[in-house]
Amino acid sequence: MTESPRFHSRPVADLHRPYAAADDRYESFDRYRQVGSSGLFLPPISLGLWWNFGDNIPMDNQRALLRHAFDRGITHFDLANNYGPPYGSAEKNFGRIYREDFAPYRNELIISSKAGYDMWRGPYGDWASRKYLIASAEASLTSMNLDYVDIFYSHRPDKVTPIAETIGALDTLVKQGKALYVGISSYSADETLEAKKVADQLGTPLVIHQPSYSIINRWIEDGLTDALTTSGMGAIAFVPLAQGVLTNKYLGDGDAERAQQRGSLGGKRLTDEAREHLRILERVASDRGQTLAQMALQWVLREDVVTSALIGASRPEQIDENVKALEGPAFSADELNTIDEAAAGIGSDFWEKA
């Protein structure tokens, strides 16, 4: 397959040569951040393989993104069983690139996967039963050419399956050596505390929660951050840019119209009033010497309990922009107040928690 050179940090021809990671790959971040009270550390920016690693994206584009991310010190790649499209293709594509490029660096990588949303037909391919989680983990390892994942998540809470069964399945994966750590995603504060209690009784390293969190999506502040702190768990925030809302593509009326026609917000639309509040956020960012996306990432990472922000990218330049979020100055009280007021004026949460 061929693609535009804009996707590459290196010449296209280099993508077909044996990969050697950049010698300075650990110089992008001052430090890697501890996940709660565990011994696991993550880069402040992690790469999610949700949208841009399916069969609809040329393999060279995917390879360029993964190589560039690792060269910039992003050691954590986050997947799930049904990432694509089609379902499962992201893990298979990653597995191929891992085998060809990253196998020599396995000890430097944190690779995660999840199960919890619909994956295959029948009653055993959804939610959080023992049957589904263990079967899915086995399939994911095969697809990715891995003996183990560093983190395996229950992707969402299950109102039918007892939490003890779900955490028991995660415990089995750890004891079988197929996951080093385990996590949960989109669990409420009470569900998190219950899950942690069961995990502690089993001796299971449940160390991380993956919630949606952004300037305009603050549900985790209503009890979950306290629960994580109390439990000694860390968080990795997904959709920290609110599916692109907290970038410059919605700032202009024409740009917003085109972006929304592409379905970026799942059919939801930004009002004129909301765009005015986005422009206020952009002005705060500009005064700080940042893009709106950089400020949004730094804002999420200001919380001590948030270990990492999980980004998506379609080209290496986006990775570079996001990594620079760590270079911003500390937030002043006035800036935080202005951000709070503008966020309230946007008036929409563009990610609905499962």
Considering only CA atoms, which of 219, 258, 237 is closest in space to residue 309?
A: 237
Residue ranges making up the domain that contains 200: 40-210
More confident residue, 259 or 38: 38
Lowest-pLDDT range, 8-22, 102-116, 256-270, 337-351?
A: 256-270
Q: Which two tokens stand for residue 73?
A: 């010190």
Split at pLDDT 50, 70, 90, the class of 304 is very high
Residue 65 has what pLDDT? 98
Strands 33-34, 41-42: pairing is antiparallel
The C-alpha atoms of residue 296 and residue 103 are separated, in whole angstroms, by 33
**Does 173 fall in a domain?**
yes
Q: Quick one: pLDDT at residue 259?
A: 45
pLDDT value at position 7? 36
| Residue 139 pLDDT greater than 70, yes or no | yes
Residue 72 domain flag: yes
Is the distance from CB of 250 to CB of 244 less than 8 angstroms? yes
Could you give the CA distance from residue 202 to residue 168 in angstroms, rounded to a whole number?
A: 8
Lowest mean pLDDT among 83-92, 151-160, 270-279, 344-353: 344-353
**334 part of a folded domain:** no
pLDDT category at 258 given cuts 50, 70, 90 is very low
CATH of residue 188: 3.20.20.100
Whole-angstrom CA distances from 258 to 34, 252, 255 are: 40, 10, 5
Decide the pairing of beta strands 45-48 and 76-78: parallel
Average pLDDT over residues 125-129: 98
**Quick one: pLDDT at residue 12?**
52
Which tops the pLDDT comparison, 280 or 11?
280
In which band, very low, low, confident or very high, does the pLDDT at 248 lie, cut at 50, 70 and 90?
confident
pLDDT of 346 > 80? The answer is yes
Q: With 60 as the cut, is the pLDDT of residue 348 above it?
A: no
Residue 266 lies inside a defined structural domain of this protein: no
Tell whether 352 is covered by a domain.
Answer: no
**Can you tell me the mean pLDDT for 191-216?**
98
Does the structure show a pLDDT above 60 at 90?
A: yes
pLDDT band at 266 (very low <50, low <70, confident <90, very high): low
In a domain, residue 203? The reply is yes
Per residue in 8-34, pLDDT (tens digit) is 445 555 888 999 999 999 999 999 999
If one counts the domains in the chain, the total is 1
Residue 162 forms part of a structural domain: yes
Residue 25 lies in a domain: no
CA gap 205, 196 in Å, rounded:
9
CA-closest candidate to residue 43, choices 319, 304, 309: 309
Q: Chain-wide mean pLDDT for the chain?
A: 91
